[in-house]
Structure 1
């Protein structure tokens, strides 16, 4: 049965809000900051253009450099399951977001990391077409960005 994309995003945002609620209860995150974070994610997920999603996450002006490692394929045979890994040695990483520039909804994944957590995430993204994938990392030193172009092969042959 087909489920609309916005329904799965609502479930994701609901789960994220519950996780942030646990941080609030544990005293790790003030309530007003948690609400602001959920609102930013909602705006980023609702955005239909890359720059709007990046702006909603506060990622404009993020430093692009070698601080963040974004690993993934150069060529993906199946755009429905493209594997990516993000790692960094930056201190105090609290957020890792993955954005696919040419997807209809560019924000593909957001991960919050509690204090003391190793900054490593691995996931699979759906890519509608060949595009640049961006990893946005929020750490103590600010916002950092890594990019990786990925060519998606349609139907198992170069298109």
Structure 2
């Protein structure tokens, strides 16, 4: 009986501790930044080069800014992270996705956009940063607009 109880307790502690470890990696300053420049500075990103191998698939015009589908993929060898910034949103840094070596750098997400703006995506590969951007026109705002 004690063995079962200990195993159950260990499983519960592990289940609680695992998400807390992920929160430790949370960059609150970057995600709270009010401008894309502040967010990039908080992430330690300086210059980024334009990249043809970084692809953004998103509608040119989104009828509802509350749900804008975006698909991002990188053909840049050694991509270890994809970072999504929505230029005119109250908090521009929307997401950061980290990839293990050999993983396919591809994400599909729905974002909320306040108004017509550029979606800027950065890829980290080999210690360097690359970017691509695409304008999305919003007819009805999704961030309180």
Deviation at 1:60, TM superposition (A): 2.6
1:66-105 correspondence runs (5 A): 66-105=52-91
Deviation at 1:141, TM superposition (A): 5.9
Greater shift, 119-128 or 135-144, is seen at 135-144
2:30 to 44, 50, 60: 44
- What residue number does 1:118 align with? 104
Rg larger in structure: 2
Deviation at 1:58, TM superposition (A): 2.9
Higher relative contact order (CA 8 A, sep 6+): 2
- What residue number does 1:62 align with? 48
Task: Name the CA distance, whole Å, in 1 between partners of 2:71 and 2:37.
Answer: 22
- What residue number does 1:23 align with? none
CA 1:19–1:91 in structure 2 vs 1: closer, same or farther (change >3 Å)?
farther
Q: What RMSD in Å do the two structures reach over aligned CA positions? A: 2.1
Q: List gaps (5 residues or longer) in structure 2.
A: 1-17
Query: TM-score of the superposition, structure 2-length normalised?
Result: 0.77
CA 1:52–1:119 in structure 2 vs 1: closer, same or farther (change >3 Å)?
same
Q: Any runs of at least 4 consecutive aligned residues in structure 1 with deviations exceeding 6 A, and if so which?
A: none
Indicate the structure with greater strand content: 2
Query: TM-score of the superposition, structure 1-length normalised?
Result: 0.71
Q: List gaps (5 residues or longer) in structure 1.
A: 1-13, 21-34
CA 1:137–1:106 in structure 2 vs 1: closer, same or farther (change >3 Å)?
same
